[in-house]
Structure formats: C-alpha cells, structure tokens
Structure 1
Amino acid sequence: MPPRKKNHSVATSAATSAASSTFPSRAPSPTPRQPFRLFDLPPELRLRIYEEALHVREPLDLDPTNHRLIHPRLALFLASHRLHSEAYRVFYAQPLHLFPTHGRFFHTKLPLLARLPPHYRAALTTLEIRLGPGWSAPPRSQKITANLGLAECVGLRRVRVFVELDPSERVFDGFRGSGATEETYMWFCVGLLRGVFAEVPGLEVVEVDGFPAVKRDAPLVLGVRREIARAGLRLVWGPLRGWGKEGEVEEVLSASGLEKAMRELGIGGAIEVPRVVEVQA
C-alpha cells in the first residue's frame, strides 16, 4: 500500500506562521567589523599607546632575553611607515646602556649603540654607564671611538652614571693586577666620561648614583664629579642613594617625556604619567 499522506489543517499552518512571526530567529545577522583607525586618535593618545606597548623596565642593551622581551615589541614597527616613524622615537627614547652589562656580551666588539642605524641614534635621549663591572681588566671594547656613533646622538641630553663599586677601597688590595694602583680604575672611568662629553653634541645633564656600599666622597665618585664640573655640565643625584642635599636634587619625575612630546606637538595641559620616557617627537 502507498504511504498515507499527512493532512495539515489550515489552522495548524496558520498557527505555525504566527509563531514564526512572533518569535524570529535568534541567529545574529552578520555585521562586518570595522577596523580600528589608530591615526584618527589625537597625537597624545597615540603616544600613550606606543609607550604602553614599547616600554621595558631595564635600559636597552644586548641581552639573551631580547628575543622574548624586545623582539615582539618591535613587530609594531612593521605595521606601516607612519607608525614606525612615530613609534621608534618612543622606543629609543628609553635609557640605553653605553656598554653591555650581561656576561655573554660583556666583551663584544660592537655595543648596541654601535649597531643602531643613525636615525635610531638620533632618537636617544638617555645613556647609562655602569662603572665597576670588569674593573680589574676592562674589556677592550670599553673605549670611546668614532665607531660608537656618539656624534650622531643629537637628541641625547642626559647621561646616567651608576657606580657599582670603587676599587680604591682597601678590601680590593692585592686584586688590582700588576702595576695597578688605587687610582688606576678611577682614571680609566674619567677617560671614558671625557670621551663621551667630547663626542655628544647636546649633552646637558649627568646623573650620578650608586649602590649602598659606595660613598658620596669615594675617590671614584669624586673623580666623576670633577670631570662633570670640568665639562661644564649639570650634576644631579640619582634617586637610589639620595646623595643630594635639599635644593640640589633635580625633580627628574616632575615632567615626563610624554608631556614634553605633547608640548612639542602644541598640546597643553599636564597629565600624570607613571613612567619616565623622554620623547623627541
């Protein structure tokens, strides 16, 4: 026998149609997502975004962890020529070690500064020099030559000198090497600073700081202070030791680099910025 056909009543069909119109489908209609237009933002907000994305805690340097900490951030440079032009000024406005401090790169022939292209060097605003590591036999690469590219650091305004130890202390007697005196390393450091001061065209401020074991009147610190005075530069004391007397300590955190960039872009108003990054925009 042929299969029996199901008979749908008119009332059933009407009820189904009414239910369909009362309860429409819950499937969302496909809406195309609009791209986020970064360059529609005001310049100060773009600078904020760059600083959040590119800021690192330690001074820039050759380090084995750069592939994990630095390389992903630099991918931002590849987005567009305009973004690269704005963002690299923020990234390289962060402090940079003049000579490597990590053991793997301590004796390298080319510090990070010497490996940078000229336009990146021009964006630098702060260099940090660590005095103490390798004091008994400083690496041959720790010398000031034209190959470092200091003359191209036209935006450099501040050098931070951090004294980790002073080998003139009596505890280092017998460990200074053949022919070395208490002042040998001090004069080596003075020579480094003299070379930097002579090469950098627009240097203004030298910030001096040190570890707790280093005294403000230690021979190495006194030698650094004399060289700063000889070069006619402004000496300020770093925040770690609090060496400066009242009225001598510069308020380093009073105006951030982001505020400076905003002023240069013609944007008024002060804002609180938790990080110190001087930006040459």
Structure 2
Amino acid sequence: MAPRGKTASKTVSVATSADTSAVSSAYPSRAPSPVPRRQPFRFFDLPSELRLRIYEEVLFVKRPVDLDPMNYRLILPRLSPFLVSHRMHEEAYPVFYSQTIRLYPYHGRFFHTKKPLVSRLPTHYRNAVKTMELRLGPGWSKPPVNQNTSASLGLADCTNMRVLKIFVELDPSDSIFTGYRGKNATEETYKWFCVDLLLGILEQVPSIETVEIDAYPGVKKDAPLVMALQKVVADVRLRLTWGPLRGWEKGQDEPGLIGLEKAMAGMGLGDVSRVVEVRA
C-alpha cells in the first residue's frame, strides 16, 4: 500500500534532499569567493633614489620651461604630484625646477610681458633652479624691457643655479643687418647689450660654475658676439662648454658643420655659413 498524508510527504522530501545532496557533491558551488580588499601602493616605502627617478619621468619636459600658451596642456597635468600631499610636494618641486628654466620669454604672446617666468616664481622655487637658458637674438633691433637684470627679476634667489646656457640665434654685427639695427644702433650695440646681460646675471648669481654657449648654424665661432661672451666667461674664470647643436670644440678656429650646413656642404653647395634666422 502506498504511503499517505504526512508520511508520504516526508518520504518524498527525504528522497528529494538525497538527490539534491548528490548533485551538490558532483557539482561544487559556484558562488564567488570574497575578493580581498586592495591595499594602496606605499609609494614612500620606495628608496629615495627610485622616487626621484619617478619624479623625473613624470615632471621633465623635453624643452626649457617658459611662459607658453600651451603650458596648460604640456606642463599643468605633470604638476599633479604637487597636490598629492605636503611630503610629495616637498620632494617633487626641486626635481621639476632642476630642469632648464628659460630666463626671458620666447613665445610672442609673452615676449613683451613685464614679468618673465623666474620673477613669477615663489622664492623657494627660485632656490631650486639649477640650470637657466639665456636666448640671444629675439628682439635684437629693439630688445623688450623685460630683458634686464634688475633686482625685481629675482635672480639673487637662484642660489643653487650651477649652469647658464646661452643660445645665440644671430649676431647683428654682420653686414647683412646694416640698415635694420634700429635707430642710432651700430654693429656693436646689441653685442654690448648682451654682454651687460651676462655680467648682470653672473654678478647676481655667484653660484654659477659653467657657461654653455650654443648657436644656430649661421653663427660662426669667431662672430663678435660669441667672442665677447667667451671673453666675459674667461675674465670671471668660469668653465666654458659648447652646446650640442653647434658642436664647436675648444681651440677649433673653423665653425663646425652640422644639420643643414653639413647636408648642403655634402651636396657641394658651397659656403652656407651666412644662413641666418632673424626675429626682429
């Protein structure tokens, strides 16, 4: 006789439970196991040398830092480590300002600004500057008023600066500039203006140890402006080096042939040393 009522229900329930247990044993549960909570990366546990290397990768740009309309794209995103914490800011800003800082603005939008980049920096940022670039040539017929070495520029605060890079775009003493030098200007006017700039920088920043001179291919090593700058460096007994673009060597009388000059010389196109780039 078949079971009835509660007895029958209990028998069916027991059978079902047995079947379910058998299936569960054959196919283990697929319920996800709890995911371990991710711990924050302990950046400051890294050795200081490695942290500095990371800062360099993040903060360095491939050109001198200057006032530029595109800084909000090129530089501003790189400065995010400054906002992480006070400790990271204190470690990061000396790295950022150790790269080359351009002394006078080069971009046309800021070329005539009254306050170059270095004068806009807080004192502790100027203290961190190690290398500065002085670009000679732009505005040669009428240099803007911001090209000066007055105390308001803040050069005296650059106590850790060791290298001054001078890039000569052109030398207006060349005869091809006759008639374009500006009112009452002679072939030596701009040369002495540049010499005064260099003397003013060296006077206010006695920590400078090395002066590097470089130039565009159209500028010869024996150009009056280049020779005048060399004399200033020699007189104050600083180390003089030649920049990578021109490739001049000490004691070499002839200008090196690089870039466009070398290519044109290789094609037998003769003397191209008078190729110049003019920005009046």
Residue 211 of structure 1 contacts residue 241 of structure 1 at CA under 8 Å; is this kept in 2? yes
SS at match of 1:103: coil
Taking the TM superposition and a 5 Å limit, the aligned residue runs for 1:1-281 are 9-10=15-16, 11-19=18-26, 22-25=27-30, 27-245=32-250
Q: In the aligned structure 2, how far is the partner of 1:200 from the partner of 1:28?
A: 65
2: CA distance between counterparts of 1:90 and 1:242? 28
Residue 230 of structure 1: how far off its partner (Å)? 1.8
- The whole-number CA distance in structure 2 between the counterparts of 1:167 and 1:175 is 9
C-alpha deviation, 1:72, in angstroms: 1.0
Equivalent residue pairs, number: 240
- The structural deviation recorded for 1:246 is 8.2
Q: Which has the higher contact order (CA 8 A, sep 6+)?
A: 1
Question: Are the counterparts in 2 of residues 99 and 129 from structure 1 also a CA contact under 8 Å?
Answer: yes
Gaps of 5+ in 2: 1-8, 253-280
Cα root mean square deviation, aligned? 1.7
CA contact (8 A) 1:153 1:201 kept: no
Equivalent AA in structure 2 for residue 171 of structure 1: I
In our comparison, the structure showing a higher alpha carbon Rg is: 2
Supply the AA of the counterpart residue of 1:133. Answer: P
* CA distance in structure 2 between the aligned counterparts of 1:17 and 1:195, rounded to whole angstroms: 87
- CA displacement at 1:241 relative to structure 2: 1.1
Counterpart residue identity of residue 150, structure 1? L
SS in 2 for 1:27: coil
Alignment match, 2:256: none
TM-superposed deviation, 1:16: 2.5
Q: Deviations over 1:227-278 (max 9, x none)?
A: 111222111111111111489xxxxxxxxxxxxxxxxxxxxxxxxxxxxxxx
Query: Matched residue of 2:51: which SS?
Result: helix
State the identity as a percent.
Answer: 57
Which residue identity does 1:167 align to in structure 2?
P
Following superposition, the deviation at residue 26 of structure 1 comes to 5.7
Q: TM-score, normalised by structure 1?
A: 0.82
Q: Determine the C-alpha separation between the residues in 1 that align with 2:171 and 2:69.
A: 28
Stretches of 4+ moved more than 6 A in 1?
none
3-state SS of paired residue (1:67): helix
- What runs of 5+ residues in structure 1 fail to find an aligned partner? 248-281
**Offset at residue 108 of structure 1 (A):** 0.3
Deviations 1:108-137 (A, max 9, x none): 000000000111111010000000000001
Q: 1:141 to 1:246 in 2, by over 3 A?
A: closer
Inter-partner Cα distance in structure 2 for 1:13 and 1:93: 71
Secondary structure in structure 2 of the residue aligned to 1:239: coil
> What TM-score comes out, normalization by structure 2 length?
0.82
Q: More deviation in 155-164 or 66-75?
A: 66-75
